[in-house]
Chains A and B, each alone.
Chain A
Amino acid sequence: MIFNELSYFAFFLLPAVVAFHLASPRLRPWVICGFGAAFFVYFGYLHFGGLWGALCVLIFAWEIATSRLYRPRSRWCLFGIVQAVAFLFVFKYLTFATSSWNDLAAVLHLPHLGAVTRWLLPLGISFFTFEFIHFAADSYQGRIERTKISEYAAFILFFPSMVAGPIKRFQDFLPKLRSARFDPALAAQGVTRILAGLVKKHVLADTFALWAGKLNGPDLFHARWYQIAGWLGAYGMQIYFDFSGYSDIAIGSGYLFGIRIPENFDWPYISQNVTEFWRRWHISLSTWIRDYVYIPLGGSRRGPGRTALNIIIAFTISGVWHGAAYNFAAWGAWHGLLLCGHRIWRERLPRMAARVPTVLAVACTFVLVNLGWAFFCMDIHRVWVAFSRMARLA
């Protein structure tokens, strides 16, 4: 969807790249804005709620307008953060929040709320709201220089990274936007990257999906433990090739503009522990969560107990960000617990931790991460079935 549609390349990427390089430096941000808005309207209309989905482009117009009020230590920055969270909550979490409340109310005999059905999910809302929050928070801290309206608009409407990241930082993007020029070698590298990304998706991810799909079918209930373990491993490979392929296409598209957007993956499955895994997997999200959730919560500055709690909170939020459902929260909490466990292991038994052979450390991390994918790709009931069958070696 989108990056594997011909219309993305024919109507947006190629015309935008040509127009961007032909335009004067002053007009280039407006070229990105124009194509970015058209991209959002076209794909929003096509796949994300029809006319209402397309009209969600007004969220960007509103954000651009309010961002002009941001100043260091200004309340408008706090307003910007609150409104970005509110966009995310209303469109993505309202249904989940009301149904969760009603579940709780049934147990505690509290008043019920009316059921809310999800109206629509604007294209890329999980990602663009994180860029809005970053801009407002960094403006509040005085870490962002005053800039032209067109440059901020180009930042949030840069369509290669608008839908599913990588999540950019304005301070990193702006100098690249200003100095962008057509570089044939970088453009050729971009084409390679786009092609490789598409191959990762269609040849590798979609092949692994044939096995991983069994986890959500009837086969799960009478599968042997090693079959379930194999399917989980297949899902681990599917999601890696799917999302890293997606990121490759986004980054390769950026290369055609002469703009290097952040990397998202760095061989995550060769990590020797879970802490390292999160430095290599979905890097732009994990650094965002570190900077805008974990550190504001206090990070590791308030003692070991509070550090562990902060890690678990940050990763549970990261889990819920992936989807409005309990299984995603459980996936985040699983990683939070693994990170706390690794921290304790590293600090209490440093000699033993240093003596673990690299191959064993990589294998253990791979197994733990892939067990965690169970929470990501199945509902809680199925996770229970899968884990209980594997635990009994059934």
Chain B
Amino acid sequence: MIDLLVRIGRGLEVLGGARAPRRGTPGRRVAWGVWWAILFLLLFAAMGRATKFIYVDF
């Protein structure tokens, strides 16, 4: 169970850019491009309600 959670955590870190992904095969690079496109789409869908970052000006 713990092992599975650790693997999920590492996977999320790779998807979030906090951990380096394994060297890219062409298929992996395409998957990476798809992931960037998903992140862009999520971003554009949510951009309208832009608020300030909490830690910027205190």
Q: Which residues of A contact B (CB under 8 A)?
A: 1-4, 47-48, 121, 123, 126, 163-165, 185-186, 188-196, 198-203, 206-207, 209, 238-239, 242-243, 245-246, 248, 252, 255, 263, 267, 322-323
Contacts and interface: CB of A to CB of B under 8 A. Distances in A.
Contacts of B15: 192, 196
Contact of A199 (B42, B50, B56): B42
Most buried by B among A4, A192, A322: A192
B50 A4 contact: yes
Contact of A192 (B36, B46, B50): B36
Contacts of A245: 53
22 contacts: A1-B57, A2-B56, A165-B55, A185-B20, A185-B23, A189-B20, A191-B36, A194-B17, A195-B39, A199-B39, A199-B42, A199-B46, A200-B16, A202-B42, A203-B45, A203-B46, A206-B46, A206-B49, A246-B56, A248-B17, A263-B18, A322-B58
B11 interface: no
A246 B16 contact: no
A188 B18 CA distance: 11
A203 B42 contact: yes
A326 to B, nearest CB: 14
Contacts of A202: 42-43, 46-47, 49-50
Interface in B1-56: 9, 15-18, 20-21, 23, 32, 35-36, 39-40, 42-43, 45-47, 49-56
A164 B55 CA distance: 6
A267 B46 CA distance: 24
A1 B17 CA distance: 22
Contacts of A48: 57
Contacts of A199: 39, 42-43, 46
A239 B54 CA distance: 7
Given A196-B17, A243-B53, 4 more contacts: A192-B15, A203-B46, A246-B55, A255-B17
A192 B35 contact: yes
Given A189-B20, A196-B16, A121 B46 contact: no
Given A192-B17, A196-B17, A242 B43 contact: no
Most buried by A among B23, B45, B49, B55: B55
Most buried by A among B21, B43, B50, B57: B57
A164 B56 contact: yes
Contacts of B42: 199, 202-203
- 5 closest Cβ pairs, A-B complex: A193-B17, A192-B17, A195-B39, A196-B16, A202-B46
Contacts of A209: 51
Nearest to B55: A164
A188 B46 CA distance: 23
Nearest to A235: B54
Contacts of A195: 17, 36, 39-40, 43
Contacts of B47: 202
Contacts of A248: 16-18
Contacts of B50: 4, 202, 206
A17 to B, nearest CB: 16
A323 B53 CA distance: 15
A165 B58 CA distance: 13
A164 B17 contact: no
B54 to A, nearest CB: 5
Contacts of A164: 53, 55-56
Given A195-B43, A203-B43, A189 B53 contact: no
Nearest to A124: B56
A1 B16 contact: no
A1 B54 CA distance: 10
B48 to A, nearest CB: 9
Contact of B52 (A1, A121, A188, A238): A1
Contact of A243 (B18, B45, B55): B55
B35 A121 contact: no
A357 B11 CA distance: 26
Contact of B53 (A207, A242, A252): A242
